[in-house]
Structure 1
Amino acid sequence: MAFQPTMPFGGTAGWSFLTRTMETQKAAMQASPVVKRDMDYFRANIAKVGSAEDLVKDYTLLKVALGAFGLQEDLPNKFFVRKVLEEGVFDQTSLANRLSDPRYGAFSKAFGFGGAGVPRTVLSGFPDEILSAYSDQTFEVAVGDTQPELRLALGLERELDRVLKGATSADAHWFGVMGSPPLRNVFETAFGLPESFAALDIDQQLRVFRTRADAIFGAPEVADFAAPEMLEGLRDRFLLLTELDGGSANLASTPVLGLLSGAAGSIGSASVLSALYSA
């Protein structure tokens, strides 16, 4: 039976409960038979892997490898995963660099199959590095099975750091947020953006993200949210608005949003978009 964390409620109260009990609950997860078996197998066998082909041939190794980066849904896509790994990240035209989701670049870079030297799988500290990430991600997935917003809250700092390290310009940071499904969800929810927002021109989205970040937090750039107090504020607002809206990420019609962002009353999606684009 898969590990099931104790999550009596979600939202801000759930986050408070989770942070108090996380150490104990994660230890219980790591000791559960399925998780322990997979982690022990990875530790014992990953050093034998010398190529992307070797990795994708081994179901358990690939399961842990992808799971460490939140990419477990790609487990059946072996050809795609192999290509991401083999092309590496040094060539800007490589598949990992062309994908908008920064998790693929981090995954490819971590294993190092696309470089000129030996892969990182032979390094003594590599198993601990990947297994630590796998443990975190596996716990987040288990939490998300009952409280999806808490999964996003748990991974927020890591995913934000990944975007900031993966790009150098302020615009590229925002594009990284847009390309990361977990981060996009958090920011769109915290900014009260409707579901239709993602269909807009990418440059228009950039302007709206920056405008909303400045209007709500006084922080127009993604790098601003690396500060602990800003990160906490973003997480708290995301959880509060998710809770108030019953778990929906589409908050454009939530009455309390107008109060929180300085607007008057509740307005529909079209009005929200019109106001944002004219800003």
Structure 2
Amino acid sequence: MSFAPVVPFGGFAGWSFLTRTMEAQKQAFTGQASVQRDTDYFREKIGSVKTAEDLVSDRRLLRVALGAFGLQDDIDSRFFIHKVLSDGTLDTTDLANRLSDKSYYQLASAFAFDLATPGTQVSTFADGIIAAFQDRQFEEAVGGVNGDMRLALNARRELADLAGRQSSEDTKWFTILGSAPLRSLFQTAFGLPASFAGVDLDQQLGTMKDLAERYLGSDKVAQFAEPERVDDLIKLFLLRAQAREVASLSGGAVALSLLQNAQSGSLLSRLA
């Protein structure tokens, strides 16, 4: 029997419950036989992989490798992934450097098949990829229960990494705008409509920075190196998302939703 994450409430109350029970829920999720089989196989076999061809030729290894970077939907695009991995990242013309989704750059950089010693030959490599794979798989499972919670988990992971990068603040903001999950979270948190994506890119940048200053006290992406600032953003996002959902419901549906939340109190007492 598979384990499904438990998120009994929506909004910030649901997020508080999820973060409070995260360790136990992730342990139950990663302990499933299906996840264990994937990670055990990866740990056993990855050391024998020395080229991009070796990796894409083994579907089980490739599934974990792509899943660790949120690229599992590319599992059947072997030629494309082979090109990303074999090119590497050292030259500006390398495919990973030319793609707007920087997950491909992270994948190619981690495996480093363009170097004399690829990442697969480093003793700590398997542990790092497996941890990332488990995190992403858990996020996906949470998303099957509540999409907003998946966006929040993604933001907590991605923003901490982005904040510490050695790049300009504008480049970091453009990275956020180029990431569909992060863009969605920021637009909701700042009360921006979906049509905002059609505005001139430089104008989007200015608006994002202005609203970050207004709501978070700083227009710097670097602020998200502090977990408290990420939490402030997530709380704003979830409160706005919940308000938007409530506004779309009829009075009767709101009452039913509140009743269902109240009835799940016994579940909280068992898991919290």
- Could you say which TM-score interval applies, normalised by the shorter chain? 0.7 to 0.9
Q: Within the alignment, does 1:55 sit opposite 2:51 as a pair? A: no
Q: Distance in 2 between matches of 1:91 and 1:172?
A: 19
Structure 1 residue 175: Cα displacement? 0.8
Alignment of 1:155-174 (within 5 A): 155-174=154-173
Q: Distance in 1 between matches of 2:150 and 2:81?
A: 24
Q: Which string of whole-angstrom CA distances, capped at 9 and with x for unpartnered residues, describes residues 28-81 of structure 1? A: 112111111111110111111111111111111111111111111121222221
Q: Which string of whole-angstrom CA distances, capped at 9 and with x for unpartnered residues, describes residues 219-268 of structure 1? A: 112112322322111011011111111299x9xxxxxxxxxxxxxxxxxx
The answer to whether the Cα contact below 8 Å between 2:11 and 2:239 also exists between their aligned partners in 1 is yes
Q: Which residue of 2 aligns with 1:256?
A: none
Q: Which residue of 2 aligns with 1:111?
A: 111
Structure 1 residue 10: Cα displacement? 2.4
The answer to whether the Cα contact below 8 Å between 1:87 and 1:95 also exists between their aligned partners in 2 is yes
Q: Distance in 1 between matches of 2:177 and 2:2?
A: 32
Structure 1 residue 129: Cα displacement? 0.6
Alignment of 1:1-279 (within 5 A): 2-115=2-115, 117-246=116-245
Q: Which string of whole-angstrom CA distances, capped at 9 and with x for unpartnered residues, describes residues 15-39 of structure 1? A: 1111121111111112111111111
Equivalenced residues, count: 248
**What is the DSSP-based 3-state SS (H/G/I as helix, E as strand, rest coil) of the residue aligned with 1:100?**
coil
Amino acid at match of 1:126: F
The answer to whether the Cα contact below 8 Å between 2:159 and 2:230 also exists between their aligned partners in 1 is no
Q: Distance in 2 between matches of 1:50 and 1:3?
A: 35
Q: Distance in 1 between matches of 2:176 and 2:12?
A: 23
- Identity value in percent: 50
The answer to whether the Cα contact below 8 Å between 1:53 and 1:82 also exists between their aligned partners in 2 is yes
Higher helix share: 2
Q: Distance in 1 between matches of 2:21 and 2:176?
A: 29
Q: Distance in 1 between matches of 2:180 and 2:2?
A: 25
Structure 1 residue 174: Cα displacement? 0.6
The answer to whether the Cα contact below 8 Å between 2:164 and 2:225 also exists between their aligned partners in 1 is no
Q: Compared with structure 1, are the counterparts of its residues 165 and 207 closer, same or farther at alpha carbon in structure 2 (3 Å cutoff)? A: same
Amino acid at match of 1:240: L
Q: Distance in 1 between matches of 2:85 and 2:165?
A: 17
Q: Compared with structure 1, are the counterparts of its residues 109 and 155 closer, same or farther at alpha carbon in structure 2 (3 Å cutoff)? A: same
Q: Distance in 2 between matches of 1:9 and 1:77?
A: 38
Amino acid at match of 2:84: V
Q: Distance in 2 between matches of 1:132 and 1:113?
A: 21
The answer to whether the Cα contact below 8 Å between 2:39 and 2:64 also exists between their aligned partners in 1 is yes
**What is the DSSP-based 3-state SS (H/G/I as helix, E as strand, rest coil) of the residue aligned with 2:76?**
coil
Q: Larger relative contact order (C-alpha < 8 A, sep ≥ 6)?
A: 2
Amino acid at match of 2:52: A
Q: Which moved more, 1:162-171 or 1:33-42?
A: 162-171
What CA RMSD, in Å, does the superposition of the two structures yield over aligned residues? 1.9
**What is the DSSP-based 3-state SS (H/G/I as helix, E as strand, rest coil) of the residue aligned with 1:145?**
helix
